[in-house]
Chains A and B, each alone.
Chain A
Amino acid sequence: MTLQKRLLGWLADAALILYFVFALFPIAWMVILSLKPTNQLFSTYFSFSPTFDGYRTVLGDSEGIPFVRFFVNSLVVSVGAVVLSLVVGLPAAYASARWRFKGSENLMFTLLSFRFAPELTVIIPLFVLYQKLGLFDTYVGMIWVLQLVTLPLIVWIMRSYFADLTPELEQAALLDGYSRKQAFFKVALPLVKPGVAAVSLLAFIFAWNNFVFPLILTSNEAQTVTVGALSFLGGDRPKYNLTAAAALVSVVPPLLLALTIQRYLVRGLSFGAVKS
């Protein structure tokens, strides 16, 4: 009986370890790849003399590829897109949660539909437009087009956060003598802070990882890491070690952000707001 149980436990552990290896292998492979010297790139799998030359090359802007600039571009564009989406999206989410008007549901659905239209369907007209408007390869252009990614996400998720908040809290604020704007900023917004943190992180990751828009709508000045990392594959020989190093470097910001924001993600702040 107990032996059987213990055996089952071992089996479960073994299965989990197996899965763990399977799941982590791609990342491990990337790390291995990034540490290989260029001359051993194609000759071995696991036995090589590890070196940080790949990282040095990538971060030192050698090989004629300005990776650091791509990295900064990615930061500017992703943060810019999230901030703009928050500025526009939080009031929109609040309004759509609190006031139903004719066509409000259609409006919300339209916003959502931006998310399920594949980016490729709109990319060619966008490319033409961007060329004509002078938005091609600019921060403004990238931040603008990324609204397609971040805005629907923020509006829809924050809408449900606001909807879960009883309107009586803002009503109490109105009767305390605050304007509707103050009721929003002083009462409603602080209570959805965990939601804002969570959705900002998600939106940032989506914006950071976006590939198609920077691929088509930037060339050099505003190019981001997702496209930039592939530059190392061009030339006479594909430099997989440099690409891997670039990819791993570009994982750092979302990872750091997730770690710092983590404590906000789990706090149920509205606990005790109203009797249930």
Chain B
Amino acid sequence: MIRLEGVHKTYGKTTALDGLDLEVQEGEFFCLLGPSGAGKTTTLKTVAGLEQPDSGTVELDGKDMAGVEPYDRGVAMCFESYALYPHRSAYDNLASPLRSPRHRLPAAEARERIGAIAELLGISGLLDRPVGQLSNGQRQRVALGRVLVRPARAFLLDEPLSHLDAKLRQQMRAELKAIGAVRRTTTLYVTHDSLEALALGDRIGVIRDGRIVQTGTREEIWHRPFDTEVARAFGRPRINLLPGVIASDGGFRSADGKVELPLGVPVRENTDVLVGVRPRDITINGPGHELTGTVYVTEVLGRSVEVTVRLGEQQVSLVAPRADTAGLRPDDPVRLTVRPENLLLFEADRPERPGRRIESTR
């Protein structure tokens, strides 16, 4: 279990962590998602004991880690920069934890373990090479192997798949969680890729400006995003956000009056709002509330098609099966449908509380 409470960390004048609270349950795979500079790496290094928080507490398995040296914390970390020892071979890099005074294994046993891990990561053939001769993807796997090779209280993984090519990344993403050691061990996984977070995380924490904005399962984050930014972070194409006001009937009316939507959420009349609807929740000729617009552009994504539709001054994108979009050309009129329960309602961006989701009463 990893627990951070009110952790502050500044470097000179820049604040890296601004009262960060985080709890990762025993055995959980927790994804920390955020843009670069949000404090993801600092969070990991604080847990590892490589950075000392200015204030706040870090607990591992319920024990306060203040003053505990990194080598006594029993966590393993995969650095985004790999941090492989350049003067040693891939094998010696993997063997490094197993030769250390704290995790020492007999040489034969270590060889077996390293062999198994290398097999798992597909780097068996590279073990004799100096790490300087490996490609970035290979180095990243060696770095990951150095983490997995020994038992740990927690794994801290800093963008461990970011430098793999797309195909390998997808494959590793699928395999990573199947690895026994990962399944059993509490894992804090840092990424800026929301797809990765959704695919891997038992729970996801969204970090921004050194604070956790929202924590939850992928369903919670997807269906109940904290604010417009979280909503925008997940899902490609991005969620459609239409600005407008609450009309007298309690529904939504866009600024130009061309889009009207019924809402399941009671909100005071004339409130400035943003209504959010995900591209996959808009259908062509399906059931639900109807909207009419004109096709702006279509883009084939494979089996589905992304269609951008003009609704008055607004544009929305939607993803529809290829069959539904057959024959659609730019400027063709099109009838769209949305189901009111799929609509998300946000406060209009205001400086003090920008874009918070308005709680549904459902």
Contacts and interface: CB of A to CB of B under 8 A. Distances in A.
B107 interface: no
A176 interface: yes
A275 B81 contact: yes
B86 interface: yes
B86 A171 contact: no
A264 B79 CA distance: 29
A171 B44 CA distance: 12
A168 interface: yes
A227 to B, nearest CB: 42
Interface residues of B, number: 34
B102 interface: yes
Interface in A172-223: 172-180, 182, 187, 190-191
Contacts of B312: none
Contact of B132 (A177, A180, A272): A272
B87 A190 contact: yes
Contact of A275 (B48, B133, B136): B136
Contact of B70 (A169, A171, A182, A270): A171
B102 A175 contact: no
A266 interface: no
Interface in B73-114: 75-77, 79, 81-87, 96-97, 100-103
B85 A274 contact: no
A178 B97 CA distance: 8
A174 B102 CA distance: 10
A187 B50 CA distance: 16
A113 interface: no
Given A177-B102, A269-B87, A271-B132, A172 B77 contact: yes
Interface of B: 45, 48-50, 69-71, 75-77, 79, 81-87, 96-97, 100-103, 130-134, 136, 139, 146, 150, 163
Contacts of B70: 171, 174-175
Given A174-B69, A174-B71, A274-B83, 10 more contacts: A171-B48, A172-B146, A177-B71, A178-B71, A179-B69, A272-B133, A272-B134, A273-B84, A273-B86, A275-B139
Given A175-B75, A178-B71, A191 B83 contact: no
A173 B84 CA distance: 9
A168 B80 CA distance: 10
18 contacts: A166-B83, A168-B79, A171-B83, A172-B77, A172-B83, A175-B48, A175-B75, A175-B77, A176-B100, A179-B101, A180-B69, A182-B100, A190-B87, A191-B87, A273-B83, A273-B85, A275-B136, A275-B139
A195 B81 CA distance: 23
B81 A168 contact: yes
A171 B50 contact: yes
A168 B83 CA distance: 6
A243 to B, nearest CB: 46
A274 B77 CA distance: 15
Interface in A232-276: 269-275
